[in-house]
Amino acid sequence: MKKILPILAGTMALTTFSTLSHAAVLDDESGVYVGGNYGYVKVDGQDDFDDDNDVMQALIGFKLNRYIGVEGSYIDFGSYGGSVASAETDGYTAALKLTAPIGDRVELYAKGGQLWYTTDYDIAGFNGDEDDTAVFAGAGVGFKVTDNFLINAEYAWYDVDLDANDINDGADTNTDFKQATIGAEYRF
């Protein structure tokens, strides 16, 4: 089941993008955008890694029209844990972003997609790393300072499994990353 979910998510994303790119008429709000977010992440699970931390994210996206876009990002969840067990996680995301304009200057949005991440572990002096995937969903609000520059506030949830195969006899812990950020976006 764990191998089927990334395949299904990838197939759905490609099908959706293909269908929307043919169905969506590019309008005056279509185009490339870049941005960055900074904020707070709560690592929440049934393991020794429960912690609060700073999170940084760089993103690039393409708006097909004022309602639909695709977005990719690099995200650094930072270091978390304690003196006995600690970890660092970073990764890349791909998402479909749906926007609902509220007037001329405010946008509500929701996005969801796939996270590909790497976690480096240090558990009682034993080191290791693990690559994995997770799904995520988020929502936010953007405020247009100008037609090209936005400030946003966002909340995102990542369904991460911290899987220390090389260290803890394959212990797999269900962990959620809950992220709240503020950021800026520039549209070209």
Whether pLDDT at 93 is above 90: yes
Q: Tokens standing for 120?
A: 């480096």
The model's confidence at residue 14, banded by pLDDT at 50, 70 and 90, is low
Tens of pLDDT, residues 107-146: 999 999 999 999 888 877 788 888 889 999 999 999 999 9
- Computed over every residue of the chain, the mean pLDDT equals 82
CA distance 158 to 137: 7
Q: Report phi then psi at 3, rounded to 5.
A: -80, -25
The model's confidence at residue 78, banded by pLDDT at 50, 70 and 90, is confident
Q: Which domain CATH number covers 170?
A: 2.40.160.20
Question: Which domain range does residue 74 map to?
Answer: 4-187
Give how many domains the chain has, as a whole number.
Answer: 1
Asked if residues 54 and 181 have their Cβ atoms less than 8 Å apart, the reply is no
Q: Which candidate, 158, 146, 143, 183, places its Cα nearest to that of 59?
A: 183
| Full-model pTM | 0.75
Listed in order, strand segments (DSSP E) in the chain are 31-45, 51-63, 68-81, 85-102, 106-123, 126-144, 149-163, 172-187
**Mean pLDDT highest for which of 9-13, 25-29, 67-71, 166-170?**
67-71
Q: Which of 2-16, 70-84, 97-111 has the lowest mean pLDDT?
A: 2-16
